[in-house]
Chains A and B, each alone.
Chain A
Amino acid sequence: MKKIEAIIKPFMLEDLKEAMHAIGVQGMTASEVKGFGRQKGHTEVYRGAEYVVDFIPKVKVEIVVAAEMVDTVVNAIITTVKTGKIGDGKIFVLPVDSVCRIRTGETGRDAI
């Protein structure tokens, strides 16, 4: 089992959800996060004084899938959220030791 963490532009979340449905992903967790990468922050002007917004709002999506699904999911994410402009985000893939569904006590692949 693997966890896929994708940091994406906030307005891409709905599209991503549709795409994940289409390839059979059962569930996902999304959170509002802030951060910066090579895009860095941007400057805004308030009452004539410039200031830098270092941390830009992003959405982090977490999806846990069986190992053989990883490539499909990652490719689907890329095709869905890619704009080709700076700030599209990143995808991390991490190993998952175990999963447990709280309601039923199921574990492993059954619990995904």
Chain B
Amino acid sequence: MTVDMMAVREPDTIASDVLDAELGIEGLRFEPNVARPLSSERGWFDMKVNSSPGPLVSDFVTHGPHFEYSTLGIHVGQDDRLTFFEEPGRWIEGYFVDCREGSATLHRRIVRRFEASPLRRLVIPRGVAHTFDGLSGVTTRDEPVWYSGENNPHWNINNDLISVLRTAETFPVVQVNDFRLPEALHVYMTQLSQAVLDEPKPYSTRFKLRIGDREQYVMFQENSWEDEGRALQPLLDAVQAPGFSARRSRYAITGKASWTLVPNTGSGVADVMHLGAVGVDAPERLFVHRRTRKWYTVLTGEGAPLRIDCLDLRPDSATFGQRASFMTVCEPRVSYRIEPGVAYAFGVALGVYIRSENEVYVDEDEPRLDLPAFGRDFEAVDATGFSATQPVPPTLKCPDRVVRSMARFELEPQPH
């Protein structure tokens, strides 16, 4: 048990319906997310949480059983924007210390208690030390905003986190970076981290130590967590069908059975969908996208039964009309890739949050009137009987910037 000098403070509770609030340190606040209910089509998602306005890049951190932090972390070149995903009733305590050089609230310490909610995000400015209790089973989405700096000894681009033990009695004063990266460099950075994490890597901590006669930062990379968690390969092998495949997510290991997922697609855009407890019986309806390759990653409910049904509706496919059903488990290290023209449905006995990523396709001969319009690429089909006449999916993949433009368009107010 950690002896935590901050835990003795009585936390202020933030009511669950408060989406927009300042929290007591300059820049530390809740902001409302862009979230909306979806169609009530049975078996389909009931809510979508869009990427937030900004650089439109994100990563997701899962927290295994008995997860606990014994350090606070300080970013030098990154504002965090965190959304906490879990079913209602999960309370979290956040601990914050302002460590920014020149800040009017330097070394102010606060504790806030709040409920996990998809409807708001917590903004933590760079230079504010933070840690949390109560995250076991919760998945956090971070939509970082990155900054660079010149001659800043506190910044390490390879590991932008200074760790401070929760038992520390004093906190450092940190110079933060000033120059916000252009959007193109946010995309570059997220693509680079995807490439680096082609194979999973353990994360590391960085502490300031005195070695001999000088102070310096030292990074510690623990290698004993690599084999934690359930065996992955059987889960990948078990779910393979024409146009529907299970693939290993790209991730870093952040603790015992805890992972940081980076995007699967080059655009870096990821929305989050909520799938209600629709059950694991055979579905009545399946859902198909004609222009979109979908990537789904189940973020919460790890280990819970997950039913997957799919049906190949690509008329040019040798397996046209072939249907497959699988029983597997929710596992964030597995992503499901679904080709355009392949219908599918997921079934779970408890509500879960699912990351959704898109790659969009276009035909050489557009407009294709037999395909749905861009941005409305969704159809429900009967699970047992389907038309023998199906459109051939397009095969030209749009550049990543098209997906980013579509995501940005979706954030704009739509006419009713």
Asked if A and B bind, the verdict is no
* Interface of A toward B, CB cutoff 8 Å: none
* Interface of B toward A, CB cutoff 8 Å: none
